[in-house]
Structure 1
Amino acid sequence: MNTTDEQHIRDLIAATTELWIAHDMPGWGRHFTEDADFVSHAGQWWTSRHDNVEGHLDIPDSVVPQKRNYVQRVESIAEVAAGVALVHTRWDWPDHRSPGSEAQDRAGIISYVVVRRDDRWRIRAAHNTRIS
């Protein structure tokens, strides 16, 4: 994988992180393929961009402002075939508070399969695993 592709993938992850924090889920979803799979940390499995976005819109209003505490960083990028890469990120979400619960420091790992389509890198699949 050349350094330009690697930088574009890093930019993709940075963009989706910023859109996640802003809770711009339609904007976030545009970085996924139409047939994207997403497995959430809670075990939901969405099999389209539409369902993925809709599923991520369904969070309590009290959680949205807490997203400003969320960070995600790329840990590794590996080319698995021409135009296909496996990306692992780590995320941290300190002081996350679900309704009726005490604040928790949450963390996890997301495995992404990203593909180059129409001269853009997009997320084809993601699996989010909570580790805290």
Structure 2
Amino acid sequence: MMTTDRTTVTAVLGSLADAWDRGDADAYGAHFTDDATYVTFVGTRYSGREDIAGSHGVLFEKFLKGTKLAHEVLDVRFLGADVAIVSTCGDTYKGARPGKLAKVQTYTLVRDDERWLVAAFHNTQRKPLLERISFAFAPETKPKQ
């Protein structure tokens, strides 16, 4: 894929973060397909743009009020011209941006009329201590990269 495709796809994540930082649930939800799936790090599953935007409207007023969204892109893979898988590390924060981002995330984006939208999102909280224990007892399970 062309560099511009990678740039365009990763710009969607930047725009998501901007909407999050403003606490704008409608703008955040607008980045998702009508039938998107969204899995939070606690395991809650939302279905569809409306559900994602609606739930985030409440979250931005309560638990996530005043938070910002940080992310670092780990990998972008294209599964054809209209599907991209983006792996990131990310986290929410208030104040200073954290040095280590505690969550691992996977975005599946699809191109719809020249616009990239998120069709699926999955967020997992990292457990570094459990990883170290696992790798100590079964070193062959440690990722190669």
Which category of TM-score, normalised to the shorter sequence, fits these structures? 0.7 to 0.9
Out of 122, 125, 134, the residue aligned to residue 130 of structure 1 is 125
The CA RMSD over aligned residues, in Å, is 2.0
The total of aligned residue pairs comes to 122
TM-score normalised by length of structure 2: 0.76
Mapped contact 1:93–1:107 kept (Cα < 8 A)? no
Which residue of 1 is the match for residue 133 of structure 2? none
Q: CA deviation at 1:27?
A: 0.4
Which residue of 2 is the match for residue 100 of structure 1? none
Counterpart CA distance in 2 for 1:86 and 1:27 is: 22
Out of 106, 110, 113, the residue aligned to residue 118 of structure 1 is 113
Counterpart CA distance in 1 for 2:113 and 2:123 is: 26
Which residue of 2 is the match for residue 101 of structure 1? none
Change (3 A) 1:35 1:63: closer
Which residue of 1 is the match for residue 142 of structure 2? none
Which residue of 1 is the match for residue 82 of structure 2? 83
Mapped contact 2:70–2:93 kept (Cα < 8 A)? no
TM-score normalised by length of structure 1: 0.83
Which residue of 1 is the match for residue 62 of structure 2? 61
Code of the residue aligned with 1:39 in structure 2: it is V
SS at match of 2:14: helix
Q: CA deviation at 1:89?
A: 1.1
Structure 1: runs of 5+ lacking an equivalent: 97-104
Task: Verify: 1:26 aligned to 2:26, yes or no.
Answer: yes
Tell me which protein shows more strand as a share of its residues: 1
SS at match of 2:42: coil
Tell me which protein shows more helix as a share of its residues: 2
Code of the residue aligned with 2:38 in structure 1: it is F
Structure 2: runs of 5+ lacking an equivalent: 128-145
Which residue of 1 is the match for residue 92 of structure 2? 93
Percentage identity across aligned positions? 29
Q: CA deviation at 1:92?
A: 3.0
Q: CA deviation at 1:95?
A: 6.1
Code of the residue aligned with 1:72 in structure 2: it is H
